Homo-oligomer: A and B are copies of this chain.
Amino acid sequence: MAIGANSAVAGPDADTLAQIREHALSGNLAFELVESLTTEVGPRLAGSEGDARAQDWAEARMKSLGFDKVWREPVEIPHWKRRHERATVLGEYAQSLHISALGHSIGTGGPIAAEVVELADLAALKAIEDDRLNGKIVFVNHRMTRAINGAGYSIAGDIRSQGPSEAAKRGAIAFVMRSAGTDSHRFPHTGNTKRLEGVHVIPSAALSNPDAEQLHRLLKRKPDLQLQLDIDVGFDGTTTTHNVIGEISGRVPGSGIVVLGAHLDSWDNGTGAVDDGAGIAITMAAAAKLIERGQRPRRSIRMIAFAAEEVGLLGAKAYAKDNAQLMERHVVGMESDFGAGSIYAIQTSARGTALDALQPLFDALAPLDIAFAEGGYGPGPDILPMRDDGVPWFALKQNGIDYFDVHHTADDTLDKIVPQALPQQVAAYALATWFMADSQIELRAPADL
């Protein structure tokens, strides 16, 4: 298909889009869904019993909401488990600190204690070339900054993903960090780390923000303070989880697939309301609102409840791999995975005439206070593997000013969601989905077609 075709084969007309928008704004199916998932299932760490229940929940919901086809695709994952984690300051200032082991950490094999070397950031850690970290516990004490688009997470997240390996390379026996979080509550923020090839793994954990400040104050008083860690976490083999997929089958077979989705797994400490129960609810409700209208789109729509995002995008990688021969028929991918705050912008990989062809969609989003924005960080994480295979993407940018207050903590629970914020997002996903599904518009650059 030539790119010039876009202007001739326009997407849905403005009236249809207006009807979809108004219908999607009615009621609050998304809140009902996230209330159900977080209450009935609760925490659902990939590979856990809760994860299995979440898959049952998603499949049952997709069926009752009227998807044409519902199926699961298996995803093999290493099975990581948290048993306990304790940090204790020893000596004259003895007290316990709140920590959470980082995903992929190993345990300490009983209590271990060592002096602590405090560093300001990842650069300071990487700059160390002598042996001063040998046998020590590294403490990276960077305070994450607050931003509507979560910009502070790239620095704080890098500390989490790279810090343990960089500390291990330099002889440290353990790694602790100030949480990648913007709150001031005693909830440590967990999250995954990356294992560097050829570097041994050391126990690693996040301190809550108040506990990081406490440790900083204690180290000013007593630089040779001994910190004891007693962490029992780790892998025990592999297990199978599943992507759960609901399809609204298009009326023209082979004409394309539109993907919208979110990840079904959560960390183990909270009930995964903002990360990412909200995303599951919003995208499932958006698809359901389209089903309710009773019109079959030209292309097929797949709502994917991705597996095992938190432990390394494992479901998304499996989907792209197992559906490799279908990737060129995936016309767009979009994911809701940034909490429950309202959407203020749409970004996309489309450029040139492909971008021009999206103008009617942008016009339909305008009454929702959503504007097209250039650039951006790319799509939601579970769309990255498809994007790497050439699939175009939308990113519906949410206000995440408070997202990192509860992200990956025990405090990620239903009460953090403002129910009234959800219908706007459902409407945006319904519009973006239908616009690409009931059309022949192609977003790939001409050279890719």
Q: Which of A129-137, A213-221, A244-252, A364-372 contacts B (4 or more CB under 8 A)?
A: A213-221
* Contact A415 B213, beta carbon cutoff 8 Å: yes
Q: How far is the CA of A2 from the CA of B301 in the complex (A)?
A: 91
Q: How far is the CA of A64 from the CA of B39 in the complex (A)?
A: 55
* Contact A49 B410, beta carbon cutoff 8 Å: no
Question: What is the size, in residues, of chain A's interface with B at 8 Å between Cβ atoms?
Answer: 32
Interface residue? A98 (CB, 8 A): yes
On chain B, the residues within 8 Å of A98 by CB distance are 410
* Contact A95 B415, beta carbon cutoff 8 Å: no
Q: How far is the CA of A210 from the CA of B39 in the complex (A)?
A: 11
On chain B, the residues within 8 Å of A42 by CB distance are 93-95, 214
Whether A40 contacts B221 in the complex (CB less than 8 A), given A98-B410, A271-B214, comes out as: yes
Whether A43 contacts B410 in the complex (CB less than 8 A), given A213-B415, A415-B213, comes out as: no
* Contact B214 A414, beta carbon cutoff 8 Å: yes
Q: How far is the CA of A293 from the CA of B187 in the complex (A)?
A: 44
Q: How far is the CA of A217 from the CA of B221 in the complex (A)?
A: 47
Number of copies: 2
In this complex, which of A185, A209, A217, A415 has the most chain B Cβ atoms within 10 angstroms of its Cβ?
A: A185
**A96 CB → nearest B CB, Å:** 8
Interface residue? A35 (CB, 8 A): yes
On chain B, the residues within 8 Å of A72 by CB distance are none
* Contact A49 B415, beta carbon cutoff 8 Å: no
**A90 CB → nearest B CB, Å:** 12
Q: What are the interface flags for A75-106 relative to B under an 8 Å C-beta threshold, 1 for contact and 0 otherwise?
A: 00000000000000000111100100000000
**A411 CB → nearest B CB, Å:** 5
Contact of A35 among B43, B50, B209, B217 (CB under 8 A): B217
**Nearest-neighbor residue (CB-CB) of A50 within chain B:** B95
A114-153 residues with Cβ-Cβ distance < 8 A to B are none
Q: What are the interface flags for A334-362 relative to B under an 8 Å C-beta threshold, 1 for contact and 0 otherwise?
A: 00000000000000000000000000000
Contact of A414 among B39, B50, B213 (CB under 8 A): B213
* Contact A218 B410, beta carbon cutoff 8 Å: no
On chain B, the residues within 8 Å of A411 by CB distance are 185-186, 210
Q: What are the interface flags for A200-223 relative to B under an 8 Å C-beta threshold, 1 for contact and 0 otherwise?
A: 000000000110011001100100
Q: How far is the CA of A50 from the CA of B96 in the complex (A)?
A: 11
* Contact B186 A410, beta carbon cutoff 8 Å: yes
On chain B, the residues within 8 Å of A270 by CB distance are 186
Interface residue? A413 (CB, 8 A): yes
23 A-B pairs whose Cβ atoms sit less than 8 Å apart in the complex: A40-B93, A41-B93, A41-B95, A42-B93, A42-B94, A49-B94, A50-B95, A95-B271, A98-B410, A184-B415, A184-B416, A185-B187, A185-B411, A186-B270, A186-B411, A186-B413, A210-B411, A210-B413, A210-B414, A213-B414, A213-B415, A214-B271, A214-B414
* Chain A interface (Cβ < 8 Å from any Cβ of B): 35, 39-43, 49-50, 92-95, 98, 184-187, 209-210, 213-214, 217-218, 221, 270-271, 410-411, 413-416
What 8 A-B pairs have minimum CB-CB distances, sorted nearest first?
Answer: A42-B95, A210-B413, A39-B217, A184-B415, A186-B410, A210-B415, A186-B411, A185-B411
